[in-house]
Amino acid sequence: MFRMNRFWERFFYLFTFISQGSSFLNPRAYAILHRMHHAYSDTEKDPHSPHFFKDVWSMTIQTKNIYMDYLLHNKEPEPAFRGNYPIWPALDRLGDRWPTRIAFVVAYVAFYVAFATHWWMFLLLPIHFFMGPIHGAAVNWCGHKYGYSNYNNQDHSKNTLPLDFLMMGELFQNNHHKSPNDANFAKKWFELDPTWHIIRLLHRSGVIRLRKMPIRPRTVTGEKVRPDVKWKEELVQEE
């Protein structure tokens, strides 16, 4: 969806492994689930729609089972969901091993032992252990149940927060499902997508290259979207 050279691809792959740590998610398997989610949003074929589960835990377990099928190649995705994702087999194997995950857990605990100033701070450790699943559950559950809608996407996607400082823009699910290849998830004047500004910085510094696409007329509850901009930087799927 955007271009970067081999060095930066490997850099961010490794950075993702380090930052996600004990909850590292395989990019290939994650990409397949994400594409399925957009193609089948809030239908029975959606891998993580909250409208087919009684609680967030059962949705998370189902998502994990489907993820593991693609991670372990127990099943292959439909042709439309294949390709155009980075693969680093050696790092993928390392990231999915239990000794690796446990090593990260030990490192987190050691950090708290060295620097925590109050006992209650240790209660934050489970968030570090399971950050990936927690983030995914929060976005997929809240982003399709709570909030407001700018667009009728024929699904239940919502914009949960107008200033999404909690999930760095991920909770603009209604906007994202309307324009899945648009790098800026914010559409109204009062909405703020923090990640968009980071992406623009990376683009302007030459780390990534966004595709420049002409604006197509769109509306948000009857209002034109950013009519003063002659072009916008979008992430578009490569042909």
Q: What is the DSSP string of 119-156?
A: GGGGGGHHHHHTHHHHHHHHHHHHTTTSSB-SS--SS-
pLDDT of residue 215: 45
pLDDT of residue 49: 95
**DSSP H or E stretch at residue 211:** strand 211-214
pLDDT of residue 105: 97
Alpha carbons 173 and 164: distance in angstroms, whole number: 11
- Are 97 and 166 found together in one domain? no
pLDDT of residue 212: 64
pLDDT of residue 232: 37
- Are 17 and 131 found together in one domain? yes
- Are 14 and 132 found together in one domain? yes
- Are 183 and 79 found together in one domain? no
Alpha carbons 23 and 137: distance in angstroms, whole number: 13
- Are 122 and 22 found together in one domain? yes
- Are 132 and 37 found together in one domain? yes
Q: Are 80 and 194 in contact (CB under 8 A)?
A: no
Cα angle at 147 between 141 and 151, to 5 degrees?
A: 105
Residue 53's Cβ-count burial label (10 Å; 0-12, 13-18, 19+) is middle
- Which residue, 142, 162, 195, sits at the end of a domain? 142
- Are 123 and 164 found together in one domain? no
pLDDT of residue 28: 96
- Are 124 and 18 found together in one domain? yes
- Are 111 and 196 found together in one domain? no
Q: Are 149 and 115 in contact (CB under 8 A)?
A: no
- Are 118 and 11 found together in one domain? yes
Residue-number span of the structural domain to which 80 is assigned: 1-142
- Which residue, 142, 161, 195, sits at the end of a domain? 142
Please name the residue that has the structure tokens 């509850």: 221
pLDDT of residue 1: 57
DSSP helix/strand/coil, 232: strand
pLDDT of residue 230: 32
pLDDT of residue 239: 33
Question: CA-CA distances (angstroms) from residue 164 to 49, 50, 85, 168?
Answer: 21, 20, 27, 6
- Are 129 and 171 found together in one domain? no
Tokens of 140: 């997929």
pTM: predicted TM-score of the whole model, two decimal places: 0.83
Q: Provide the domain count of the chain.
A: 2
Instruction: Find the DSSP H helices in the chain.
Output: 6-20, 27-39, 56-71, 89-95, 98-115, 125-129, 131-142, 173-178, 194-204
- Are 173 and 224 found together in one domain? yes
pLDDT tens digits for the chain (239 residues)? 578 999 999 999 999 999 999 999 999 999 999 999 999 999 999 999 999 999 999 999 999 999 999 999 999 999 999 988 999 999 999 999 999 999 999 999 999 999 999 999 999 999 999 999 999 999 999 999 999 999 999 999 999 988 888 899 999 999 999 999 888 999 999 999 999 999 999 999 999 998 765 444 444 444 443 332 332 333 333 33
